[in-house]
Amino acid sequence: MSSVSRSRWLRRLLFGVLALAVVVPGAAGGCTAWVYTSAAVSTVGTTDFRNELAIPPLAPSTIGPDGSRVFELDMRSGTKEFRPGKITETWGFNGDYLGPTLRARRGERVEVRVRNQLPEASTVHWHGMHVPAAMDGGPHQMVNAGESWAPRWTVDQPAATLWYHPHPHGKTEQHVRRGLAGMFVLDDENSESLTLPKDYGVDDLPVIVQDVKFSGSGFDNSHRIFRNAGFLGEQILVNGTLAPYREVGTELVRLRLLNASTARIYNFGFGDDRTFALIGTDGGLVPRPTTLDRLQLSPGERAEIVVRVRPGERTILRSNPIEAGLDFWNQRFSGGDDRLDILELRAAATLRPAPELPATLATLEVPDGSTSVRERHFDLNLAGINNVPMAMDRIDLTVARGSTEIWVVRNADGMPHNFHVHDAQFRVLSVNGAPPGAQLTGAKDTVFVAPDSTVRLALRFDGPADPNTPYMYHCHLLWHEDQGMMGQFVVVEPGQSAGTPHAHGH
Ligand code: C2O
Ligand code: CU
Ligand code: CU
């Protein structure tokens, strides 16, 4: 049985058991109630915030002969003591878990020397980065165990919080779950001139959020019954730290939130419901700060927020039940009812004053769709996008370099999905025909699509053209991606047609 028909079968079984529970109350009803009740997780009020939040180090770099900024990333296996006295087997970049923060400036040429010291082949993808297809690190750029890969490109996009992670076809969830992920921060002239908190690790904090479950000396990555979304954990790691707190010494604190979980959707807010300013989305700073008290991020999405703290106080960043248009069952079994403590901020007794946030932050560079040359439709289904499962040797779309297109993405399934496109940042034009909310007004590369809803996106692919090497678009719930909710497109010169991709990397 395929996993799709299996999950349909499980759903039918659940409804069957329920129907039975109505007719014959007793054992079956009790069993269903137990499965339903035990599916919800709450760590609110029981998290002791005993560990100081780790800050991933900034990756050192050297300047290569051609002036490039050169980084080194070693993918390796290791162990880490997340819990006192208990060792967990992990994977990481240049360390045991996660990886350093890479940082580069617009206009710089970068090179990343990736060495795979894992026992198996993998890749490193630069999520959110505008890169030539052969440097993208998708499933066509596999790096075998013991081998190296050194992609190079010129950074040509606005300041943003991007990230990197493996992308081996069919195994992305596993590889990310073991610990392979890191941030890639871009700066530009504009971001450097703005009066925003920007002292890395001091008032500008990376917040890489993952849900995990431990078992013996490893992570328990098994999917529990009815979990259509994939793996859902019961404890939260931030930057690899369990139950983290962080002392802060300034009135304003910037958090670069990255949902690096493989299926979980977070609905962030503070325990006391204080407001915060949204200053950036996936692809960079938004035109102007917006005040929010909740911010939902699905897997792969990022947001930069700035929160104000008062001297001596503590406040908890928390995830609340999600608002994702899910039915009763999918809400519960996709972790939608869960409440999770994420991070406690502890303000010093005296705080350094911070200037007010600038009224305007950036000019968006994403297209507004007015010059679109074509519209394409994508139906999201676990069975495959437009019901076609991913195939490494099939190009699904061919896009002309420099042209703007409108992509209409619909969730045709009852379960949560999102949509991520490689290489380009896009603008969300509408959600179900209405203008998007504040959270979707900036540059995006990943967008949540609720069941039975439709988002319209405007994208432009600036190239370079490479008819033989595809980029990916996919659901970023990584188990869904692994199951084949992914397609491939190539960027060609106008009038050129797609070539032939290789069925395997290399
Ligand atoms: Cu974050 Cu195709 O990936
Ligand atoms: Cu990506
Ligand atoms: Cu999905």
159-186 pLDDT, tens per residue?
Answer: 999 999 999 999 999 999 999 999 999 9
- What lies within 8 Å, CB to CB, of 479 at 6+ separation is 173, 223, 229, 230, 231, 262, 263
The residue-averaged pLDDT of 329-345 equals 95
Given pLDDT bands bounded at 50, 70 and 90, which one contains residue 6?
very low
Residue 39 pLDDT greater than 80, yes or no: yes
> CB of 300 closer than 6 A to ligand 1?
yes
The residue-averaged pLDDT of 98-123 equals 98
> CB of 299 closer than 6 A to ligand 1?
no
> CB of 501 closer than 6 A to ligand 1?
no
The residue-averaged pLDDT of 425-436 equals 98
- pLDDT at residue 8, rounded to an integer: 47
Residue 341 pLDDT greater than 90, yes or no: yes
Q: What is the pLDDT of residues 397-422, one digit of tens each?
A: 999 999 999 999 999 998 999 999 99
Confirm whether pTM is higher than 0.85. yes
Q: Where are the domains of the chain?
A: 3-37, 59-182, 204-352, 374-492
Strand 235-238 with 284-292, pairing: unpaired
The residue-averaged pLDDT of 12-30 equals 57
Quick one: what percent of the chain has pLDDT higher than 90? 87
* CA 422–ligand 2 middle distance (angstroms): 5
The residue-averaged pLDDT of 225-246 equals 94
- pLDDT at residue 506, rounded to an integer: 47
- pLDDT at residue 275, rounded to an integer: 98
* CA 479–ligand 3 middle distance (angstroms): 8
Superfamily of domain 204-352: Cupredoxins -  blue copper proteins (2.60.40.420)
Give the C-alpha separation, 176 to 93, whole Å: 11
- State which ligand 1 atom lies nearest to the alpha carbon of 474: 2
The CATH architecture to which 374-492 belongs is Sandwich (2.60)
Give the C-alpha separation, 324 to 450, whole Å: 6
* CA 33–ligand 2 middle distance (angstroms): 39
Q: What is the pLDDT of residues 442-469, one digit of tens each?
A: 999 999 999 999 999 999 999 899 999 9
Least confident stretch, 1-15, 315-329, 391-405, 477-491: 1-15
- State which ligand 1 atom lies nearest to the alpha carbon of 163: 1
Residue nearest atom 1 in ligand 1 by C-alpha distance = 127
The CATH architecture to which 59-182 belongs is Sandwich (2.60)
* CA 263–ligand 2 middle distance (angstroms): 15
- pLDDT at residue 282, rounded to an integer: 98
Give the C-alpha separation, 155 to 109, whole Å: 6
- State which ligand 1 atom lies nearest to the alpha carbon of 165: 1
Q: Residue 90: phi, psi to the nearest 5?
A: -135, 170
Residue nearest atom 3 in ligand 1 by C-alpha distance = 127
> CB of 422 closer than 6 A to ligand 1?
yes
- Please check whether the two domains, 204-352 and 374-492, share a CATH topology: yes
Give the C-alpha separation, 268 to 232, whole Å: 17
Give the C-alpha separation, 274 to 317, whole Å: 10
> CB of 253 closer than 6 A to ligand 1?
no
Least confident stretch, 8-22, 177-191, 312-326, 391-405: 8-22
> CB of 140 closer than 6 A to ligand 1?
no
431's tokens: 């959600």
* CA 484–ligand 3 middle distance (angstroms): 10
Nearest to 103 by CA among 54, 46, 164: 164
> CB of 125 closer than 6 A to ligand 1?
yes
Share the mean pLDDT of the chain: 94
